């Protein structure tokens, strides 16, 4: 087996957002150095990394130079061009591999991979013209959800359509070469499994996490999810099979819909730590970020045991609309932890930070984290 990449080595991170920041914090805590590469400066990752490189992902000379100073490269953002990852891979190890990124950064490729390998997904069609759209609406019925095939996240580039004419308008508005039409899932709840796979093929997971979205953006996650042991086992088995089928070395999150008749459908894959796994930082023996570090360095994975039930609430830019949130009010809750990502401009919908609460049950943690988030708000003047 390949020798592990040991503390003191340097990890390269493609992307520079909050996922890279929390990864870099975990890596530095374990004695690694971190270099981040993205088109921006003073980024959430760059603020805690040893070196922040600002260059376009398409600047392959800069990419090659970046690889000269790192021992392994991972990514924190899946919309990295495949040519960038291929260039990195010519010079240094990339984990997970570019193939995992290639499959999961494009919704059509991802759903096709899942369906071909027998994983349960909602019915979908490829749409690249108005004729395709008409035929797809005919096949799948309405309502349906139209999404860009590539480069979409947090509900960006997607809309629920309830008529063919609305679908035509939505397709034109997407200005995308390729789109995907999905049958609308009238789900009971949304859940996710954050899982890791080591270089030796060992699998670890954080159980089932339950997620509530607001305007297509994750709002609150709780763990453990209130699902039956049978559903939990099924979700974890599906996640294990997906990580094996993709030969993942790293962390990958599987997002699911749980339908009203008790079926799990895979909605999306994220080949990296995930927003729903942020609660692992405060509530588990090994956070999802440390787990990613261990996996990409070829170290044994850590325990995912949860100390206490937890809930996480995102802090979006809206919270700043009447001024700086009232941080001491959230810190007045002794079992609530504040995480901020160092972003300077609080735009609506932008993930600026999160709160995690620990309690005797996941429901109690959700109530607590909701109260702490509410306490942050200033009343409108």
Interface residues with ligand AMP (CB under 6 A)?
122, 145, 152, 155, 158, 182, 184-185, 190, 213, 216, 255, 267-268
Residue 361 to residue 329: CA distance in whole angstroms: 23
* Sheet strands side by side (includes 124-127): 124-127, 179-183, 144-148, 158-161
Nearer to ligand AMP, 216 or 263 (CB): 216
Nearer to ligand AMP, 87 or 148 (CB): 148
In a 3-state reduction of DSSP, which class is residue 168? helix
Nearer to ligand AMP, 217 or 245 (CB): 217
CB of 193 to ligand AMP, least distance (A): 14
Residue 170 to residue 148: CA distance in whole angstroms: 10
Nearer to ligand AMP, 267 or 306 (CB): 267
Report residue 67 as tokens.
Answer: 């690889």
CB of 217 to ligand AMP, least distance (A): 8
CB of 111 to ligand AMP, least distance (A): 10
CB of 17 to ligand AMP, least distance (A): 16
Residue 322 to residue 184: CA distance in whole angstroms: 36
Q: What secondary structure does DSSP assign to 210-236, as a single string? A: EEEEETTEEEEEEES-S--HHHHHHHH
Distances (CA, A) of 348 to 164, 217, 319, 331, 345: 30, 11, 8, 23, 10
Q: What angle do CA 155, 161, 166 make, to 5 degrees?
A: 120
Nearer to ligand AMP, 132 or 335 (CB): 132
CB of 213 to ligand AMP, least distance (A): 4
């Amino acid at each position: 087996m390949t020798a592990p990449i040991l503390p003191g080595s340097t990890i390269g991170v493609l992307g520079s957002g909050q996922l890279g920041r929390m990864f870099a914090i975990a890596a530095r805590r374990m004695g690694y150095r971190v270099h981040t590469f993205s088109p921006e400066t003073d980024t959430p990752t760059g603020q805690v990394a040893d070196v922040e490189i600002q260059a376009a992902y398409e600047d392959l000379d800069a990419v090659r130079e970046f690889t000269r100073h790192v021992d392994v490269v991972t990514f924190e953002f899946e919309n990295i061009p495949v040519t960038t990852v291929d260039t990195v891979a010519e010079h240094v190890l990339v984990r997970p591999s570019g193939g995992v990124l290639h499959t999961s950064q494009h919704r059509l490729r991802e759903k096709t991979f899942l369906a071909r390998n027998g994983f349960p997904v909602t019915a979908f069609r490829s749409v690249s013209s108005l004729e395709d759209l008409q035929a797809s609406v005919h096949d799948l019925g309405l309502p349906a959800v139209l999404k860009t095939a590539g480069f979409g996240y947090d509900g960006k580039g997607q809309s629920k359509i309830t008529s063919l004419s609305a679908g035509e308008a939505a397709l034109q508005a997407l200005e995308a070469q390729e789109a995907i039409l999905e049958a609308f899932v009238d789900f009971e709840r949304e859940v996710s499994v954050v899982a890791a796979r080591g270089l030796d093929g060992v699998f670890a997971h954080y159980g089932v996490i339950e997620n509530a979205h607001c305007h297509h953006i994750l709002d609150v996650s709780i763990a453990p999810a209130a699902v039956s042991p049978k559903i939990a086992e099924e979700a974890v088995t599906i996640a294990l099979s997906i990580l094996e089928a993709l030969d993942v070395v790293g962390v990958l999150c599987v997002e699911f819909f749980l339908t009203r008749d008790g079926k799990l459908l895979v909605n999306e894959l994220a080949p990296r730590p995930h927003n729903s796994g942020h609660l692992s930082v405060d509530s588990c023996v090994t956070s999802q970020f440390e787990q990613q570090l261990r996996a990409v360095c070829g170290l044994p994975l850590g325990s995912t045991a949860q100390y206490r039930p937890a809930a996480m609430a995102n802090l979006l830019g809206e919270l700043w609309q009447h001024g700086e949130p009232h941080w001491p009010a959230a810190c007045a809750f002794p079992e609530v932890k504040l995480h901020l990502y160092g972003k300077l401009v609080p735009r609506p919908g932008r993930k600026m930070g999160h709160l995690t609460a620990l309690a005797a049950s996941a429901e109690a943690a959700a109530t607590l984290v909701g109260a702490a988030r509410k306490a942050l708000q200033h009343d409108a003047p």
